[in-house]
Each structure stands twice: as C-alpha cells, then as structure tokens.
Chains A and B, each alone.
Chain A
Amino acid sequence: MISRIWRNTHFLLAISISLFLIIASISGVILGIEALIDQTKPQAIYSLKSQSLKATMEALEDQFENVYEIVVTEKKFVVVQGITSNGFETFYVDPITGIKIKNVSPSNPFFNHVRSLHRSLFLKKTGRILVGIVAFLLFLLSITGMILLVKRLGGVMHFFLPLKENNKYRKVHITLGKWFFIPLLIIGISGAYLVIERFDGFSKKESKIKKYDAGEKKLNLNTLYLSDIKRVSYPFSNLKNDTYTIELKNRRVIIRQGDLSIVNDEIFHVHQILKNWSYYIHTGDTMVVGFNFEDVIEIYDCKVRNNVDIYKTKNIKLTEFRYRTINVIKVPGFETNEDLT
C-alpha cells in the first residue's frame, strides 16, 4: 500500500514536469557545450591560483596606460578595462605577462537565447518561478525514485548487485536511475536554490560591514590570488582618499590607494556564498571551490609579511599556508628572523 503511494507520487511528478524537463535538459546540454567551448579558449587561464594580485597589477601597469578594472570571470577569463594605445577598451589578458589576448566581443546571441529559455522559458518572472518549482520537483522526483528503487531491490545492500529484470525498458530506467541519482539531486537542489535566491528569499539577512580608520589595518596584495578575486575596481583619480574596491568570493574590501589601508570590509552573508556555490555546481563554470573560508586578510595581520614572499617564490598556495607554516619554515635554506609561532 505504502509502496503504491510512492509509486503514484513518482508517476505524477514525472508526468507533470516531463515537458519542462525535456526543455531544460536540451537547453542545459547546449549551455554545457558552451561552457566546454569557453574552457578551451586561449583566454581561459589555469594558473589563477598561483598568480598574486600584486604581480598582476604590476604586469598590467607595464603594458597599459591606465587600468580601470580587472575582472576574473567564472570561466577563468581575466578581463581588463582600461586605456591602451587604441583608447578605452575591454579585453582579455594573460595575467602573468599582462599581455592583451584579444578584445571582448558581445556574447553569442544564440547562447543568450538558450540561456534565457533555460532560466525563464522566455516568460521572465513567471518563467523563473516555474523553472524553480520544476527544479525542486526534480529533486523530489529523484528522491521518490530512489525510495522505490531501494524497496524494489530489497534494501540498500543490494544496490550494487547485478539486476534481475526481464523488461528491457524497466531495466534501462533502473540502471540510469542508479547512475544519475546524485547528479539529478544536485542539479535539482542547486537550481531551486538559485531561483529562491533570485527572488530575495533571504533579503532580511544583511552582510556584516567592518569599518577601519586610516592606517589601522592594511591589505597585502601579495597574499591575494586571482582565484579568490572577482573584480578589482581602480581609484577614480589620483586623490589620496580615492579607493580600490576589491571584490572577493566571500567579501568586498575597500582600500585606500597609497598605503592600501582598509576603509571598509564587508563580509557577505552565507546565503550569498551558497548562491555562488550553487551557481558553480549547477553550471560547472569553474571548479567547486566556492567555499572560501580562508581568512585572507587576517593571515596578513600576524607579522609574517617577510615570509609570505618566501612562500610566493616557493609557489605555495595561500590555502596551504596556514597548515604548513611551521613545517616549511624549518626547511634548511630559508632564513627568517621572525618567530612564526
């Protein structure tokens, strides 16, 4: 009897969202192909994790008259807006050498349309809500399917055993269900989360803002790596009080030019980080490293400024920094005056 309820739920869910799922899956495949194409383009940079912001800014300074903005996109492109010999331009660069790769061209209208279909079925707000509901139902569909499957197999223990089933279609359905249970779960829940976020599901939760006096706390651009960065906006003019805005994955820091002291440090609420994470895992545009709990700025505060340079030359990533600190410093050949512990 209970099994029948599960079966009916599974069937009704499948019937009601099948059409939407077909649209979403086809458009999703096309978008996946787009992501794949983008990853093979020359402007996709794979050394973002070892490239510090400081080095990038210096390299760009050598190449261009004036830089306005550096953007690191989800597709690992480094985009620069600034003044070149041709005037104001937006272009992709190689962050290591600072050399321009090519100009940014408007995004492909075909993929834009597909994206619009995938997100909103061309129905704007209504469409987005609809797609969100469908994504959540997909999540439920895969759960009910899994419950039915486990019942059918006679327990979780039998999950990986060979299947005894004579009907060809059923056999395919069960096998595919086994394989794609986890991906479907992830796609459903991350898609639904993206829609909820989009409609201000958590608008009451504000991000934390800390303010600092001039010179109180400084930011070391050597310990910031491009993989952590989303956007760097340069100061408007040469005035001393003009600021850089550096947007990281989990926070936004505003620093004065000159002494690089922090004006304003805004830590995003966890739902924003979750949203980034959902986006990454849903689109596969980048590796799933959305959770960035490393406290980049605080590390700099504990008097290790000199040693950070050593790390840089040894090419040790910031993420490994905390845990390796003591071991690495004791390696013969490194001489430091400061006691790290």
Chain B
Amino acid sequence: MKTFFSFLLLYFLLLNSSMEEYVEVKCMLEIVNYRGEGAYIAISVIDKSEQYIKTVYVFGDDKSWFSEMKSFWRNLRENNLFLDKDFYLLVDAISGPTISGSERRLFQFKIPKNLFNSNYNLRIETAVEDKGYYVNDININLNPENLKKIYQGEGFINKIQFSAVDK
C-alpha cells in the first residue's frame, strides 16, 4: 500500500512538474524517397549520457512496432513503461500514423523551457521495418539558435525544419 501511495505521489509530482513553461516548436519533416512500410519516428530530449529525459513526439501508433526503435524501446523497457497509463504520461502526443517515403508532415511539439541551454540534446530516431534503424538521424544540442536551422538527417530524414512558435 505504501508503495502504491508513493507511486501516486510520484505521478502527482510528474503531472505537476508538467505544468511548467513550455516552448512550442513547429516542425516540418520530409522523408527520403523509399518504398515499403511507414517510418516509426521518436523525438526525444536526452542528456549527455544518453539518458532519455522526455519524449516529445512519436510517429506511429501501433506500440507493437516500437521495439524497432531500439534505443527508445530500451528506455521504455528499463523504466517499465509498457502500460498505456505509464507511457502516455511521458509521451504527450502520439501522432497516429507513420510517415511513408517522400512524404512531408507539419506538426508541433512542446519542450519544457528548463531543458533549453543546459547540455541536453534533441534526438530524432527513425526506424523502418527491415529497412534499417538510425539512432541519431538528427541529434542536435537543444538551444534556441539550433532550432532555427534546417537539417538533413543521416537516415530516413531528408529535411527537417524547426521554428519556435511565439506565444
């Protein structure tokens, strides 16, 4: 029972801490031209030792394929985040479908303001069933300057462009 309450407390804290300030980032993502199944993509904030701080966006809504994103999946497994109720606390937005070859998406995600300018990286990992997995398709230091540029990924990402949304 005690552990149960401590869990409750933990969630309460987690939820409360999520009330803090966010930076809204608008993002345009273009996938390279390939054929086959859609790409699973996870966008997460990681620290210098590659620990996952927060996952801000996931493309692909069938959780049974998340294991293709190996690093992201390892994080979920190690932290026991299998169940929906645990998982959706961490991932704000599951966007729905995957992105197929040469498609373009326009979307928006939130990053807590305190993660900026303090040695955190933004990692975008991509995986396509039997076509490959890229841990660091995009991996950039998280600061406002970096989020104004256009990047080309090393894997399935052809082009990605960010812009912070003014509130």
Contact = CB atoms under 8 A, between A and B. Distances in A.
Do A and B belong to a common assembly? yes
Interface of A: 68-69, 79, 81, 83, 87-88, 90, 104, 106-107, 109, 112-113, 116, 124-125, 198-200, 203, 231, 233-234, 236-237, 245, 247, 252
Contact of A88 (B24, B36, B161): B24
18 contacts: A68-B26, A87-B24, A90-B93, A107-B61, A107-B62, A112-B61, A112-B62, A112-B64, A116-B62, A124-B129, A124-B130, A198-B36, A199-B36, A200-B35, A233-B105, A236-B106, A237-B163, A247-B103
B74 interface: no
Interface residues of B, number: 27
Given A107-B62, A198-B37, A90 B106 contact: no
Contacts of B63: 109, 112
Most buried by B among A69, A106, A107, A116: A106
Interface in B88-130: 93-96, 102-110, 129-130
Interface string B61-88: 1111000000000000000000000000
Contacts of A109: 63
A93 B104 CA distance: 21
B129 A125 contact: yes
Given A124-B129, A125-B130, A90 B96 contact: yes
Nearest to A236: B28
Given A125-B130, A236-B28, A81 B36 contact: no
A235 to B, nearest CB: 8
Nearest to B150: A236
Nearest to B35: A200
B107 A88 contact: yes
A237 B148 CA distance: 12
